[in-house]
Amino acid sequence: MGELTRDEVHRHVEADPRTLYDLVSDVTRSPEWSPEVIECRWLDGASSAAVGATFVARNKRRWFTWSNKPVVEVADPAREFGIRRTERGGGSIRWRYVFRPDGTGTAAIESYEVVESVPRGLHVILRVFFGVRDLEADLNANMRVSLERLARIAERESAKA
């Protein structure tokens, strides 16, 4: 049960950076690739990604659901989309997607950086109730699943264009 700090995963995707950016910045589509997100909707009149825009994200793991209200910190079309998720009792984490042209496609990077420590109590709850022995490994596995699913969606949408 180590201290979370940061991590990132990389994947080559046969789609252009703008297609990937358009997907991840439309947070309402997040449930299509995220292993835990089951719903997202914009708040306070926002309808698309812009710095300062907020949305509510509903998440689920096994039988437990919870919500949080991330804030968009970076909205740089075709390059980077970043949010900061702060939860009472869950710390504060900055999540980012970065896209770089790479041969015939895009190098996609998903990452997180802990801004405010995730409390030890959350590690214990995750271990006892959800079987998460290593939160860092769990988050890494979820990012890998997310990028794999995102790649399939982006490649399918690029093939249609």
- DSSP-assigned letters across all residues of the chain: -PPP-EEEEEEEESS-HHHHHHHHH-GGGGGGT-SSEEEEEE-TT--S--TT-BEEEEEEETTEEEEE--EEEEEETTTEEEEEEEETTTEEEEEEEEEEEETTEEEEEEEEEEEEPPPHHHHHHHHHHH--S-HHHHHHHHHHHHHHHHHHHHHHHHHH-
CATH of domain 7-160: 3.30.530.20
* Closest listed residue to residue 51, CA positions, set 73, 69, 70: 73
Q: Please compute the mean of the pLDDT values over residues 20-28 and round it to a whole number.
A: 98
* Mean per-residue pLDDT over the chain, rounded: 91
What pLDDT is attached to residue 90? 75
When pLDDT is cut at 50, 70 and 90, the band that residue 160 belongs to is: confident
What's the CA gap between 31 and 33, in Å, rounded? Answer: 5
User: What's 39-70 look like in SS3?
Assistant: EEEECCCCCCCCCCCEEEEEEEECCEEEEECC
Q: Please compute the mean of the pLDDT values over residues 102-107 and round it to a whole number.
A: 96
Q: Please compute the mean of the pLDDT values over residues 85-110 and round it to a whole number.
A: 92
pTM to 2 decimals?
0.91
Q: Which residue has the higher pLDDT, 118 or 64?
A: 64
When pLDDT is cut at 50, 70 and 90, the band that residue 123 belongs to is: low
Q: Please compute the mean of the pLDDT values over residues 121-126 and round it to a whole number.
A: 68
